[in-house]
Amino acid sequence: MDFAAIDRQIHALEECIEHTVPVGADERLSVGVDLGTAYIVVVVLNSLKQPVACAMEFAQVIRDGLVVDYIGATRIVRKLVGQLEQRLGRTLQHAAIAVPPGTGVKDCATHTHVVEGAGLEVVSVLDEPTAANAVLGVSNGVIVDIGGGTTGLSVLEDGQVAYVADEATGGNHVSLVISGSYGIPFEEAEVLKKQPDRQRDVLVVVRPVIQKMASIINKHIQGRDIAGIYLVGGTCCLRGMEDVIAADTGKPVYKPANPFLVTPLGIALNCHP
């Protein structure tokens, strides 16, 4: 696995959040829409599958992978797509989406309707670990996606998803603990935990929550031959959390430079596979 190449790809995506990369008038564009518990992220790639534009919004319209505010979700996706179309000077047509593993047919259809309601045709629906693995390329190991609401695991054996699990501990729990410890509202805790210069103090306070995530990983990998743990999802951005996971699992842990953007990028890579 070429970790440096993965980080370069993610860095290019980070760059195009602010700086749109010009595209040709006829170039085929790939779009990925990640409907998460905490963030809705839309990624656009050019015909070479390089990131050209990205937009996101903090939103509480999805819970544990299910759409709880259909109209709100559609409105946000439409807004983000509109912004990206304006930035690129192009109409966006096709998109890929992803759902947590094990999502039923009806709930997949709801995700599709949200994105199609925003004017895109959904050409690919995949599960989130498969999306993340389009970037990571793990053959043997476990991808652990710690988002806002849940810790999701996917064990890969010979490049195939062999086992999945999803448990309700995520970034929201981290913020709740910060909120309680510092006596500040949840929203302030969300801001505080993302401040790079505060992450050292934050980690001390939230260590038990990270240890809970490690115990979820341990529970699900027990009895399996796991070569390594690959961390993705916004909560893994917390500096030093990877050391807690490594200590409590005894496994080698790999974390890309920006774990938050791995799944959104992987979704877009699957738009025209």
Ligand X SMILES: Nc1ncnc2c1ncn2[C@@H]1O[C@H](COP(=O)(O)OP(=O)(O)OP(=O)(O)O)[C@@H](O)[C@H]1O
Contacting residue, 23, 29, 33, 38, with ligand X by CB under 6 A: 38
Running DSSP on this structure, what letter comes out for residue 20? P
- Tell me whether residue 16 or residue 98 sits nearer to Mg ion (CB atom): 98
- Tell me whether residue 23 or residue 61 sits nearer to Mg ion (CB atom): 61
Residue 54 backbone phi and psi in degrees, to 5: -150, 140
Query: What does 32 interact with, of Mg ion, ligand X, none (CB < 5 to 8 A by kind)?
Result: none
Minimum gap (Å) between residue 81 Cβ and Mg ion: 19
Residues 16-75 contacting Mg ion, CB under 5 A: 36
- Ranked by CB distance to Mg ion, the top (closest) residue is 147
Give the Cα-Cα-Cα angle 35, 266, 193 (nearest 5 degrees): 60
Query: What does 266 interact with, of Mg ion, ligand X, none (CB < 5 to 8 A by kind)?
Result: none
Contacting residue, 141, 147, 149, 256, with Mg ion by CB under 5 A: 147
Minimum gap (Å) between residue 90 Cβ and Mg ion: 27
In 3D space, the residue among 34, 32, 19 whose CA is nearest the CA of residue 88 turns out to be 19
Give the Cα-Cα-Cα angle 110, 111, 113 (nearest 5 degrees): 60
233 belongs to the binding site for ligand X (CB under 6 A): yes
In 3D space, the residue among 143, 102, 147, 141 whose CA is nearest the CA of residue 224 turns out to be 141
* Region near ligand X per CB under 6 A, out of 9-17, 106-114, 167-175, 207-215: 167-175
Parallel/antiparallel/unpaired status of strands 51-58 and 39-45 = antiparallel
* Region near ligand X per CB under 6 A, out of 44-52, 112-120, 142-150, 265-273: 142-150
CA–CA separation, 174 vs 172, rounded Å?
Answer: 5
Contact 96, 123 (CB under 8 A): yes
Query: What does 234 interact with, of Mg ion, ligand X, none (CB < 5 to 8 A by kind)?
Result: ligand X
Q: What single letter denotes the amino acid at residue 251? A: K
Q: How many CB atoms lie within 10 A of CB 183?
A: 7
36 belongs to the binding site for ligand X (CB under 6 A): yes
- Tracing tokens 């399996």 back to the chain, one arrives at 224
- Tell me whether residue 36 or residue 51 sits nearer to Mg ion (CB atom): 36
Contacting residue, 37, 74, 103, 249, with ligand X by CB under 6 A: 37
Contact 185, 167 (CB under 8 A): no
260 belongs to the binding site for ligand X (CB under 6 A): yes
Binding site for ligand X (CB under 6 A): 36-39, 65, 147-150, 170-172, 190, 193-194, 233-235, 237-238, 260
